[in-house]
Amino acid sequence: MQGIISNFRMGRHIPHHYQMIVKPSEADNLEAAKKLIGKKVVWKSPAGKELSGKITKEHGRNGFVRVQFDTGMPGQAIGTKVEIV
């Protein structure tokens, strides 16, 4: 399954660079997003480096999920595709 990174998880004053908000292709409501918790997410950079993370929680009621990555994510990742395994 694939997904698209929509944004960093934002705090009141700063973004959290280790956490991203992702829209999975097959999740369109809260119940479908809850089923994805615990799955692995892989993002491939343009240079070929792979950064991995894990779905930790749902985000909102439209099927978005919160992904905790092992390392900080670059801003260029916003709008790109990820692979959900």
- The amino acid at residue 37 is I
Output the pLDDT for position 46: 92
Q: What is the CATH number of the domain that holds 27?
A: 2.40.10.190
pLDDT mean over 42-56? 96
Contacts 24+ apart (CB under 8 A), 54-61: 55/22, 55/84, 56/19, 58/30, 58/33, 58/34, 59/9, 59/21, 59/33, 60/30, 61/29, 61/30
Output the pLDDT for position 60: 94
Give me the domain span that covers residue 75.
2-84
Residue 76 — very low, low, confident or very high, per pLDDT cuts 50/70/90? Answer: very high
Output the pLDDT for position 59: 96
Count structural domains, the chain: 1
